[in-house]
Amino acid sequence: MKQYIDEAEKVLMHTYNRYKIVLDHGKGMYLYDIEGKKYLDFVAGIAVFALGYNYEQYNEALKKQLDTLIHTSNIFYSIPPLEAAKKLIKASGMDRVFFTNSGTEAVEGAIKLARKYYYNKTGKAGGEIISMEHSFHGRSMGALSITGTKKYREAFEPLIGGVRFAEFNDLSSVKANINDNTCAVIMEPIQGEGGIYPATEEFIKGVRKLCDDNDILLIFDEIQCGMGRTGSMFAYQSYGVKPDIITCAKGLGCGIPVGAFAATEEVAMAFQPGDHGTTYGGNPFATKAVSTVFDIFESTNILENVNVMGQYLSLKLDELKNKYSIITDHRGKGLLQGLEFSIPVKDIIAHAMDEGLLLISAGEHVIRFIPPLIVEKKHVDDMTEIFTKCLNKVV
C-alpha cells in the first residue's frame, strides 16, 4: 500500500491528512483494503453510505440507468428528476426542489434563494444571514461565509458580507443579531462537524417563532442529520418544527454525488428562470440514485432500524462513558452519535483502524459514530468490543 500512498501524496493536493490505508471494495457494513484486510465501517463515507456497500437493488437500478440515460441538461425534461423530486417533497413536506451536485452547492442555492426572496419582498438587495457558531455548511465561498469556524474562513476573506454568528442553543444571541435587513437564519438541527451538538427543543422552536415574528426565513441544513440518520426522515421532524428551506445531500444519493435544496411554494417562487442553474445537477443518473434510495428506505422500513439500533448504540456508548473517565460526554441521536474525550482522539482512531474498525472524529476531542443505517446488533457489539480494546490502550 505504501507505494500507492506515496504516489497519491505527490499528485493529490494536500487538503487531507489521510489514513494510511488504500481501500479497494466494500460489502454491506465492511470495507476491504487492497491487501484484503477487512474493516467494520462506522464512518459510512461520512454519513453517506446509508445502505452500506454494494446494495444490490441500488446497484441494479443505477446499472440500468447507466445504459438508458446518464445526462441531458436541465433545459429538457426527463423522468428520474421528477420522480426524485416527488419523493423528496413527500418525505420533507417542502413544495419544490432544486438538485445540486453536493451539499455545499445546496447551501449556496439556499443562500441565493433566501436573498432573492428578500429582494423581491423589500425591493432591495443586502439580506443578512444569521448562522451559528461551530456550524459547518461547506467549503465554497458562500457556504464558507456562513460556516461558524473561524480557522476555516480566515485565509479566504473577504467572504460574502452580511453574515452574523449567533451562539447555538442560545435564543437571546439569535435575537440580538436580528435587524431590519435579516433575511434568514440557517442552522443544523444537530451540528455534525462541530462535534455532534443537538439543538434543544426550546431553541429550535424559539428560533422558528423569532423568524415568524420578524418575517425571516428559517433554513435547516439537513445535509448530515437528514435522510433518516437520526430516526426521522429529517431531524427537524422530530422537533415538530418546519423550516422554509432545507438543504440535503450525503445520504440522499448514498454514494452518487447529489444534493438538493427544497423550499415552500411561496419561497421557491422567488426564483425565476435565469436566477440559478447547474449543468450536472439533478441529471437522470444522480436522481435515479435519489429515487432508489427513497424506495429502499421505504420498503425496508429503515427508520425503524435506525431507531432500534440508535437506542442500542446509545446504551453501549453510555456504558463506555460510565466506565472510562477520559470520556466526558455522550451526545447525539439515532445513528449520529458522538463521544467527547478529555484527550485528543487521534490515537484512539488509529488503534481502531489497526484493529479493523473505521471511526472518524468531529473536532479534536470527539469521536463520531455514523455507521450505515443498515447496521445490526452484531455490528454494534463488534464495534464496542474493538473500541473497548482501543480505549484500554490509551488509559
Ligand X SMILES: *Cc1c(COP(=O)(O)O)cnc(C)c1O
The nearest distance, CB 100 to ligand X, in angstroms, is 9
Q: For residue 83, state whether it binds ligand X (rule: CB under 6 A).
A: no
Q: For residue 108, state whether it binds ligand X (rule: CB under 6 A).
A: no
Q: For residue 188, state whether it binds ligand X (rule: CB under 6 A).
A: yes
Tell me the one-letter amino acid at 274. G
Region of 131-139, 269-277, 280-288, 377-385 interacting with ligand X (CB under 6 A): 131-139
Q: For residue 287, state whether it binds ligand X (rule: CB under 6 A).
A: no
Q: Which is nearer to ligand X, 107 or 207 (CB)?
A: 107
Q: Which of 221, 244, 291, 366 binds ligand X (CB under 6 A)?
A: 221
The nearest distance, CB 190 to ligand X, in angstroms, is 9
The nearest distance, CB 176 to ligand X, in angstroms, is 24
Q: Which of 102, 287, 291, 361 binds ligand X (CB under 6 A)?
A: 102
Q: For residue 361, state whether it binds ligand X (rule: CB under 6 A).
A: no
The nearest distance, CB 144 to ligand X, in angstroms, is 10
258: phi then psi, degrees, rounded to nearest 5: -155, 140
Per CB under 6 A, contacts with ligand X among 306-325 are none
The nearest distance, CB 225 to ligand X, in angstroms, is 7
Burial of 275 (0-12, 13-18, 19+ CB in 10 A): exposed
Per CB under 6 A, contacts with ligand X among 230-249 are 249
The nearest distance, CB 101 to ligand X, in angstroms, is 8
Region of 4-12, 96-104, 159-167, 266-274 interacting with ligand X (CB under 6 A): 96-104
Q: Which of 204, 223, 309, 370 binds ligand X (CB under 6 A)?
A: 223
Q: For residue 253, state whether it binds ligand X (rule: CB under 6 A).
A: no
As given in the structure block, the three cell numbers for residue 58 are: 441500488
Q: For residue 224, state whether it binds ligand X (rule: CB under 6 A).
A: yes
CA dist 4 → 33, 38, 273 (Å): 12, 18, 47
As given in the structure block, the three cell numbers for residue 225 are: 442529520
Q: Which of 80, 109, 138, 195 binds ligand X (CB under 6 A)?
A: 138
The nearest distance, CB 131 to ligand X, in angstroms, is 11
Q: Which of 41, 193, 244, 340 binds ligand X (CB under 6 A)?
A: 193
Quick count: other Cβ atoms within 10 Å of Cβ 264? 17
Q: For residue 136, state whether it binds ligand X (rule: CB under 6 A).
A: yes
Q: Which residues contact 374 (CB under 8 A, 6 or more apart)?
A: 28, 29, 50, 51, 52, 55, 300, 302, 305
Shortest Cβ contact with ligand X: which residue?
Answer: 103
Question: Which residue do the cell numbers 429538457 mark?
Answer: 76
Q: Which is nearer to ligand X, 83 or 105 (CB)?
A: 105
Q: For residue 294, state whether it binds ligand X (rule: CB under 6 A).
A: no
As given in the structure block, the three cell numbers for residue 354 are: 489497526
* Residue numbers at the binding site for ligand X (CB under 6 A): 102-104, 107, 136-138, 188, 192-193, 221, 223-224, 249-250
